[in-house]
């Protein structure tokens, strides 16, 4: 079982698409268990296969912080057929990444995530045509306005791809709004690498934008090109794979949100 997920060993969450490609290159192992379940464990819930808890490549037991999230991970294992396909198990891969590469170095992963605030997708705008300019503004401006008004993070926009240095104060203000727990940090890292925008990830975490809005905002330019020239089938296939990982990260963020009072 361990070699199927060794791409996550000792590392922060990487680009999920690359992780999926690497997993796809590993020969699929035959299913070796009958039942997948959930059991209480120190600090949360363990995923069990025929009663035995699963472990990461280095031997750490995978402990999930909430029962609903543990049930979702167990469901991935239960849904496997004659062989185990890690590509179809984004929550399991994310869980391995958290346990192996995030819990002991949350600050380092947060620093890596915060680097995106210096070159975020939302900063670089098209100069023309007007319809694309308007579409980018409609999807991206509300997030930038929220960052400025609520977080005090005032970023600088640029036309085209010319790099613009962002104010240190803005970067620090946005970083301060990131969550502190390893599961949320890992999920935001996934969302950021998938969308190219830590600001979209942050807006998602704070409930300023819902998952559909974030996903649409990440693909404004690609969708515009598709409207003009038709759908690129290869790009569309990649997008389906990335959406699966995005949805897994969204599920983790939802599971880590504090329960609302009555």
More confident residue, 258 or 94: 94
> What number of other Cβ atoms are within 10 A of residue 18's Cβ?
11
Q: What is the pLDDT of residue 235?
A: 84
Q: Is residue 262 part of a domain?
A: no
**Domain limit, last residue, from 101, 122, 144:** 101
Report which of 10, 12, 7 is spatially closest to residue 23, judged by C-alpha positions.
Answer: 7
**Domain limit, last residue, from 101, 126, 146:** 101
Q: Is residue 75 part of a domain?
A: yes
Residue 70 and residue 122 in one domain? no
Q: What is the pLDDT of residue 25?
A: 59
Residue 239 Cα distances to 30, 139, 166, 254, angstroms = 28, 19, 29, 22
Name the residue range of residue 83's domain.
Answer: 2-101
Residue 122 and residue 172 in one domain? yes
Is pLDDT above 60 for 262?
A: no
Residue 169: CB partners within 8 Å, gap ≥ 6? Answer: 152, 153, 154
Residue 160 and residue 65 in one domain? no
> pLDDT (tens digit, 9 = 90+) per residue, 90-134?
999 999 999 998 999 999 999 999 999 999 999 999 999 999 999
Residue 174 and residue 241 in one domain? yes
> 94-103 burial string, b = 16+ CB within 10 Å, else e?
bbbbbbbbbb
Distance separating alpha carbons of residues 71 and 57, to the nearest angstrom: 21
Q: Are strands 36-41 and 44-49 parallel, antiparallel or unpaired?
A: antiparallel
Q: Are strands 124-125 and 158-159 parallel, antiparallel or unpaired?
A: parallel
**Domain limit, last residue, from 68, 101, 134:** 101
13 pLDDT band (50/70/90 cuts)? low
Is pLDDT above 80 for 2?
A: no
Q: Are strands 52-53 and 158-159 parallel, antiparallel or unpaired?
A: unpaired
> pLDDT (tens digit, 9 = 90+) per residue, 177-232?
999 999 999 999 999 999 999 999 999 999 999 999 999 999 999 999 888 888 88
Provide the domain count of the chain.
2
What's the CATH number where 52 sits?
Answer: 3.30.2180.10
What's the CATH number where 171 sits?
Answer: 1.10.3580.10
Mean pLDDT over each residue of the chain, to the nearest integer: 89
Is the CB of residue 39 less than 8 Å from the CB of residue 45?
yes
**Average pLDDT over every residue of 51-59:** 90
pTM above 0.85, yes or no: yes
Residue 236 and residue 112 in one domain? yes
Residue 6: CB partners within 8 Å, gap ≥ 6? Answer: 57
Is the CB of residue 46 less than 8 Å from the CB of residue 61?
yes
For residue 220, give both structure tokens.
């404004």
Is the CB of residue 87 less than 8 Å from the CB of residue 2?
no
Residue 162 and residue 195 in one domain? yes
Is the CB of residue 63 less than 8 Å from the CB of residue 42?
yes
Residue 17 and residue 136 in one domain? no
Residue 95 and residue 135 in one domain? no
Distance separating alpha carbons of residues 201 and 214, to the nearest angstrom: 8
What sign results for the dihedral spanned by CA atoms 69, 73, 79, 85? positive
Diameter over CA atoms, the chain: 60
Q: Is residue 261 part of a domain?
A: no
| Ordered alpha helix ranges (H), 3-161 | 16-25, 67-78, 90-101, 106-114, 130-146
What sign results for the dihedral spanned by CA atoms 135, 138, 139, 145? positive
Residue 111 and residue 75 in one domain? no
Q: What is the pLDDT of residue 22?
A: 57
> What number of other Cβ atoms are within 10 A of residue 3's Cβ?
11
Q: Is residue 159 part of a domain?
A: yes
């Amino acid at each position: 079982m361990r070699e199927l997920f060794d791409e996550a060993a000792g590392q922060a969450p990487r680009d999920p698409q690359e992780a999926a490609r690497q997993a796809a290159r590993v020969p699929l192992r035959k299913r070796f268990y009958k039942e997948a379940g959930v059991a209480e464990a120190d600090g949360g819930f363990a995923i069990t296969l025929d009663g035995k808890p699963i472990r990461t490549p280095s031997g750490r037991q995978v402990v999930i912080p909430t029962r609903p999230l543990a049930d979702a991970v167990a469901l991935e294992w239960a849904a496997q057929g004659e062989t185990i396909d890690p590509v179809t198990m984004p929550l399991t891969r994310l869980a391995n990444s958290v346990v192996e590469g995030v819990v002991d170095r949350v600050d380092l992963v947060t620093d890596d995530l915060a680097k995106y605030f210096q070159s975020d997708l939302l900063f670089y705008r098209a100069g023309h045509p007007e319809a694309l300019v308007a579409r980018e503004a409609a999807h991206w401006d509300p997030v930038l306005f929220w960052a400025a008004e609520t977080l005090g993070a005032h970023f600088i926009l640029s036309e085209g791809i010319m790099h613009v240095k962002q104010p240190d104060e803005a970067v620090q203000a946005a970083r301060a709004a990131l969550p502190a727990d390893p599961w949320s940090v890992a999920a935001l890292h996934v969302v950021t690498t998938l969308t190219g925008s830590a600001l979209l990830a942050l807006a998602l975490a704070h409930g300023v934008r819902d998952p559909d809005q974030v996903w649409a905002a990440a693909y404004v330019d690609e969708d515009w090109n598709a409207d003009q020239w038709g759908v690129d089938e290869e790009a569309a296939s990649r997008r389906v794979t990335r959406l699966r990982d995005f949805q897994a990260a969204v599920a983790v963020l939802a599971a880590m949100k504090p329960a609302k009072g009555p």
